[in-house]
Amino acid sequence: MGRLEGKSVIITGAGSGIGRAASLLFTREGAKLIAVDRSDSVRETAKLVSDAGGTVEAVTADAGSENDVKAFIARAVSTYGKLDVIWANAGIGGGLVPLADQTVDHWQEILRINLIGPFLAIKYAMPHMIAQKHGAIVCTASVAGLKSGASGHPYAASKAGVISLVQTTAYSLSGTGVRINAVCPGLIETGMTKPIFDNARERGTDGKIGQLNPLKRAGQPHELAAMGLFLASDEASYVNGQAFPVDGGLTASMPYAGKPI
């Protein structure tokens, strides 16, 4: 029996990268999935899951829209009769725009998706989970939310906000049986980080990618999915309010500040 056998799960940002890897892994472990992304690539994810024998419905939605979040959570409950797990994974990068050149609109869009999105997922998933006296919420933060040097200002601030949201929500959920944790990816090869990898390969410096962490390599989406699976499963029944770096050991010292690839 899989670790998520029979559980109703929502994963946002499921169209690619970590979200797609998690969709495939969670359904292999028995989850019944609502895969969400604002891109139509979520339908490709759903096809991959279905072809592998998994149970999935694809939903095109904006994880930072309150109406969309309410709708896809309601769909999970109506389709599968309950909601056991939600992974608020959807996020956007912010680039490396100099601080003086950043705009309020730029900040607001990053915060809308990266921080308000997880808040909305928590807000509307929470009542269903509290009513059934169990549930697991996972949010995608970043090593950029732990220490400086990993990304631009608005992205780092949004991810630090996710970590704080997870910690404070854990106490807001005291006694309910609902757990919440965050995963903090390091340098993972996804659509968001593709420019880093592409530029390094064009310059012939791809051998330097990931060399600042003790494992001396970049990470892959399936390695984040594995951590998310643990946090979503009953095996993590006493794990709550934490933010876990999955970064090859990079945050053990954070040596990369000021050292671009």
Count CB neighbours of 23 within 10 A: 33
Give the Å distances, CA to CA, from 53 to 50, 79, 126, 128. 5, 18, 29, 27
Angle value at C-alpha 43, between 82 and 38, nearest 5 degrees: 80
CA–CA dist 195, 184 (Å, integer): 20
- What is the Cα–Cα distance from 193 to 183, expressed in whole angstroms? 17
256 is catalytic: no
Q: Which of 190, 232, 253, 216 is nearest to 4 (CA)?
A: 232
Q: Give dist(CA 206, CA 189) in Å, integer.
A: 12
CB 126 within 8 A of CB 231: no
User: What does R_g of the chain's alpha carbons equal in angstroms?
Assistant: 18
In the set 80, 124, 155, 256, the catalytic residue is: 155
Residue positions annotated with a catalytic role: 155
